[in-house]
Amino acid sequence: MAESLLFIFLTFLIILSVNVNCFKLQQVLILSRHSLRAPLTANLKNTSPHKWPKWNYEHGHLTDKGALLESYMGEYFIEWLNQQRLLSLECPTADDLFVYANTKQRTRESANAFVRGAFKSCNISAYSINSEKMDPVFNPIIRDTTEETKRKIIAEMENKLSELHLDEAYTYLSEILDLKNSDICKSELFCDFLQAKNEIVYVIGQEPHIVGPLATSNNVMDAFIMSYYEGMANEDVAWGKINKAEQWTLLSEIIRENQNVRFNSSTLGRNVAKPLLKYIKGVFNQIPPRKVTVLFGHDSNLNSVMAALGLKHYELPNHYEATPPGGKIVFQKWYDEKKNRHLLKISYVYQTIDQIRNASHLSTNNPPFWVDLELSNCSGDKDGFCPWKKFQKILTTIN
């Protein structure tokens, strides 16, 4: 509780310091992961002899609670944007606001929920292309067909696989599942996460994939953590066998490393995020500039964009995941009136574990957490700002 109050206080100190220093917010681009969803993998029965809890949603679909959480985010952000005098409480025009989502149900419905929360009395809709296929802007697939790029990406992924330190997490997860008595052990001899080998799947036009213990354990942990976020009873979350923060921290390393191996390296990130980065660059170069753009994608989008831009390592207090559901990278363009210059600030804004599980209502009096992010090639000053021109140069270089 004390830590939460401290972060709320620090958040408002940041806002206050910006206002006192005569900095004016001119433009915001928010890149968001969808909110809380059902597990991606429906077929986990073969990994454990225990009975899995039933979900009343199709796998991968946004839950009602996820929609509620995202509407709270929308309410918070319109309040914050109004405080910063970037958007008023009046209904914004298309020149002021654009909300754009990938085609997956969980991204579309997250965008719709955000709009409902932010603009209750306005006739505003989130945009998504009319297709059942992934929107090319958001699709995190390998595009470059050259052998040189393939060699670099596979080397990056192999290096990250060689640096995995998941033995303790794998051992504990095997015990929770009773993996040695599972169908996957009996039929496929997959009885021990420590003994199985990871293999890289590299196919042009597809996402970079891993087959083996990392992928299987990630699917299991995805189901466990989404059950916890959803607010299921403790006995229905990993059969009551994860009940301490230390256990969640240990096991959640599996989720972090799965994304780290598959999307969080420079060559790979630049390749799979190229269309999205091009779109972001276009938004910032648009004349006249649109005030607010909100993009709804996936953790793969956030991780690949951060890797391509060269964002430094960060930690999210009061969370187990590096890219939690509903979490947002907030790119902010500020104008320093005293020095006549434009500045960049990048923040990660997210709901804490308790805010998600308890479905806490958000406002500027009860905000989500803010963590400043820093670019390797554009170090922030004491207030977290780096020169806008340097950021533009980075965007030009990676495109």
pLDDT for 398: 84
CA 298 to each of CA 60, 94, 367: distance values in angstroms, whole numbers, following the listed order: 11, 24, 22
pLDDT band at 3 (very low <50, low <70, confident <90, very high): low
Structural domains in the chain, CATH included, are 33-69+130-274 (3.40.50.1240)
Closest CA to 269 of 208, 206, 327: 208
Question: pLDDT tens digit string along 156-180?
Answer: 999 999 999 999 999 999 999 999 9
Catalytic option among 135, 298, 299, 319: 299
pLDDT at 318 over 60: yes
pLDDT for 222: 97
Question: pLDDT tens digit string along 13-51?
Answer: 455 444 445 899 999 999 999 999 999 987 899 999 999
Predicted TM-score (pTM) of the model is 0.93
pLDDT band at 195 (very low <50, low <70, confident <90, very high): confident
SS3 11: helix
Catalytic-residue membership of 183: no
pLDDT at 317 over 90: yes
pLDDT band at 382 (very low <50, low <70, confident <90, very high): confident
Written as six digits, the tokens of 317 are: 């207090």
Q: How would DSSP label each residue in 196-237?
A: S--EEE--TTS--EEESHHHHHHHHHHHHHHHHHHT--GGGS
AA letter at 10: L
Cβ contacts of 166 within 8 Å, gap of 6 or more: 193, 214, 217, 253, 254, 257
Least confident of 20-24, 46-50, 249-253, 385-389: 20-24
Catalytic-residue membership of 34: yes
| Burial class of 118 by CB neighbour count within 10 A (0 to 12, 13 to 18, 19+) | buried
Catalytic option among 34, 135, 222, 298: 34
The DSSP element (H or E) to which 342 belongs, if any, is: strand 341-350
Residue 357 backbone phi and psi in degrees, to 5: -65, -35
Question: pLDDT tens digit string along 64-94?
Answer: 999 999 999 999 999 999 999 999 888 999 8
% of the chain at pLDDT higher than 70: 94
C-alpha 140/C-alpha 329 separation (Å) is 17
pLDDT for 25: 97
SS3 21: coil
pLDDT for 381: 83
C-alpha 382/C-alpha 380 separation (Å) is 7
Average pLDDT of the residues in 295-305: 98
pLDDT for 20: 46
Asked if the peptide bond before residue 288 counts as cis, ω within 30 degrees of 0, the response is yes
Chain position carrying tokens 């025009």: 93
